[in-house]
């Protein structure tokens, strides 16, 4: 039977496809960005809490706008979730598998917040888990913001992004109880094609 659970982890990767930028205007080939720029990225995102971990291969598309803001236009699992997502710990023990990912509230807003750092402010994702013995029927992620950073060497030519952070997940269990848990997020994202090494701050 299907179970709903939040994959907060996936939220981050989205925001980070253009990370590595500081509290300053976006740049393109070392110059201030003077028109919208677009890029695609792929990577993995991992969500870890007391209930276990979930990790998926993801892909995303985003737009940078002149100034310090931008948006995540598209985000999703890069392939069949049953093949590109995996669970460990409590989830795996009870045979829970990610069967479908539910992306919400697109586009997501991104903006520079600190040197080589950007933030996504309204990303939300849920995931359907398959497994007769999954004890959680629904998990949602409370509104929050998430950050991603890049190395100083790539601040003006972003290729790879490393993310980490925490969010609050609300669990609705089969018996109807609700509990909250802080989960840790981590991600590794690579910008694809001609956009790799093109954008910075």
To the question of pTM greater than 0.85 for the whole model, the response is no
Q: Helix count (H) and strand count (E) of the chain?
A: 3, 16
> From CA 88, how far away is CA 72, in angstroms rounded?
28
* pLDDT tens digits, 74-85: 988 999 998 999
> From CA 184, how far away is CA 8, in angstroms rounded?
9
Nearest in space to 41 (alpha carbons), one of 158, 119, 171: 158
For 117, other C-beta atoms within 10 Å of its C-beta total 17
* pLDDT tens digits, 146-189: 777 777 777 778 888 887 778 887 777 777 788 888 888 788 88
Q: Which residues of 168-190 are buried (b: 16+ CB within 10 A; e: fewer)?
A: ebebbeeeeeeeeeebebbbebe
Pick the most confident of 7-16, 45-54, 189-198: 189-198
């Amino acid at each position: 039977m299907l179970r709903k659970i939040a994959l907060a982890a996936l939220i981050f990767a989205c925001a980070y496809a253009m990370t590595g930028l500081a509290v300053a205007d976006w740049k393109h080939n070392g110059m201030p960005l003077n028109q919208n720029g677009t890029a695609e990225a792929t990577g993995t995102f991992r969500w870890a809490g007391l209930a276990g971990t979930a990790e998926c291969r993801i892909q995303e598309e985003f737009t940078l706008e002149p100034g310090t803001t931008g948006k995540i236009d598209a985000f999703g699992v890069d392939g069949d979730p049953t093949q590109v997502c995996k669970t460990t710990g409590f989830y795996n023990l009870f045979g829970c598998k990610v069967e479908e990912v539910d992306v919400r509230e697109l586009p997501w807003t991104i903006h520079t917040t600190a040197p080589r750092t950007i933030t996504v402010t309204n990303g939300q994702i849920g995931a359907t888990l398959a497994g007769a013995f999954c004890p959680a029927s629904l998990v949602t992620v409370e509104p929050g913001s998430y950050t991603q950073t890049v190395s100083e060497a790539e601040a003006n030519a972003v290729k790879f992004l490393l993310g980490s952070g925490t969010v609050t997940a609300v669990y609705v269990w089969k018996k109807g109880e609700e509990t909250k848990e802080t989960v840790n997020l981590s991600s590794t994202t690579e910008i694809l094609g001609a956009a790799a090494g093109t954008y910075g701050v």
